[in-house]
Chains A and B, each alone.
Chain A
Amino acid sequence: MKVSYFPGCTLRTKAKELDFYARKCAEILGAELCEIENWQCCGGVFVSAKDEIATKLSSVRALVAARDANQPLVTVCSACHNVIKQTNHAIQSDEDFATKVNTYLAQDKDFSGPYSGETEVCHYLELLRDKIGFDKIKEAVKNPLKGKKVAAYYGCMLLRPGKVMAFDDPENPTLMEEFIKALGAEPVIYPSRNECCGGYVVVEDAESAKKKSAKVTDSAKNHGADMIVTACPLCKYNLVKNGSELPVIYFTELLAEALGVKEDNYAE
């Protein structure tokens, strides 16, 4: 199975292990991540105003590239995923927005025709659940993570807005817990798993982000977790910076460990 892949800027810099293990594990599980050419940064966060057009064009260009390749568009970073999925939804549901976007795109050199939201946007975790299947992952596990108590941290961006993301039940998600079970570990359910880490506000008000992150890590710890997994580099940064007593790792690292391809000192 081939899918179009949008890595995003952070996976090329501060979160290389999120990308590296995503590719490696996909290969083992029979999916090829075909990186789209000349992708541009998604902007990190969706701007909900209807009259913000130009800032959403990078997402649309990625969606068009996937459409032209006749493949779903897969992202690993929850932020890229949120921005691209919300942009796709805006094109599907807001005619005025779609018209303006297409007017811009028509000026691109290699414009392949108007876009109306036909690409399927899929997070890597959805790829695992819906296209590969947790049963198949279970079979591929070489090193079951027995006895590990893992707290899945969804944060906001995988889940909300629930109607648009349609990723899982936004108040009681199960996808990452099923994923953790498939790897042989034990998922830990805790109340703050879908609350915000403080996000980009850390740049302007570090104290505020610290409060939000501490709430999440305390909640996971008090419910008996040994570690936290996330799909978002900013969540990871906030939780670690604000003194998480539990290790925080990317879900792709956990997957790589279970599939037996985790490198001891991954540094590139």
Chain B
Amino acid sequence: MQSKTEREKEQILRMSGVNPLKCMRCGKCSGTCPSYDEMEYHPHQFVYMVETGDIEALKNSDSIYKCLSCFACVDRCPRGVEPAKLVEALRLLVIREKGANHLTPNDIPELVDDEIPQQALVSAFRKYSK
């Protein structure tokens, strides 16, 4: 029988379409990541930690909420690995569980001002809630 880790790894690879074995660990993705300072695990670490099955650590890390979906790591990776898609898959794996939304409508009034564009709110809900 497959372990939970194996199951989750398989699911992450299927959702993201990423092949971590293409990575040559050059670190360019992390070097270009604008959220590097806010992240505990960086884009290149997502790639090898998914590969080695260190999935719990990623799921429990705030790093999954710090990605800006700016796709810099996707465009600048010399091997076409697309690390952002792994970050996305990990985040979805977490928030798809019941009661695991990272953002709820009740949080909003305290977080925003009158000028915030609708686009920011719909985007945040798309990324942080299910």
Contacts and interface: CB of A to CB of B under 8 A. Distances in A.
Contacts of B88: 47-49
Interface string B73-89: 01100000000110011
B27 interface: no
Interface string A165-183: 0000011000000000000
A200 B71 contact: no
Interface in B1-33: 14-17
B42 interface: no
A211 B37 CA distance: 10
A188 to B, nearest CB: 21
Contact residues on B (Cβ < 8 Å of other chain), bracket:
35 or more
A267 to B, nearest CB: 15
Interface stretch (A19-27, A28-36, A38-46, A142-150): A38-46
B32 to A, nearest CB: 9
Contact of A203 (B34, B75, B124): B124
A48 B127 CA distance: 10
B61 to A, nearest CB: 14
A208 B115 contact: no
A49 B130 CA distance: 13
A202 B116 CA distance: 10
A77 B119 contact: yes
B17 A233 contact: no
A200 B118 contact: no
A249 interface: no
A71 interface: no
Contact of B70 (A44, A48, A199): A199
Contacts of B113: 241
A164 B111 CA distance: 33
Contacts of B66: 201, 205, 208
A161 B88 CA distance: 15
Contacts of A206: 111
A149 B117 CA distance: 27
Interface string A236-264: 11001100000000000000000000000
A162 interface: yes
Given A45-B123, A199-B123, A237 B102 contact: no
A77 to B, nearest CB: 7
Contact of A200 (B15, B35, B74, B123): B123
B122 A41 contact: yes
B69 A199 contact: yes
B77 to A, nearest CB: 11
Given A50-B15, A50-B17, A205-B66, A234 B72 contact: no
B84 A162 contact: no
Nearest to B121: A203
A204 interface: yes
A234 B120 contact: yes
Contact of B117 (A13, A160, A201): A13
B111 A204 contact: yes
A233 B118 CA distance: 9
A268 to B, nearest CB: 17
Interface in B23-64: 34-35, 37-38
Nearest to B62: A205
**9 A-B pairs with least C-beta separation:** A44-B123, A196-B70, A200-B123, A160-B71, A44-B122, A203-B124, A45-B123, A233-B117, A156-B70
Interface of A: 8-10, 13-15, 41, 43-52, 55, 77, 79, 156, 159-162, 170-171, 195-196, 198-206, 208, 211-212, 215, 232-234, 236-237, 240-241
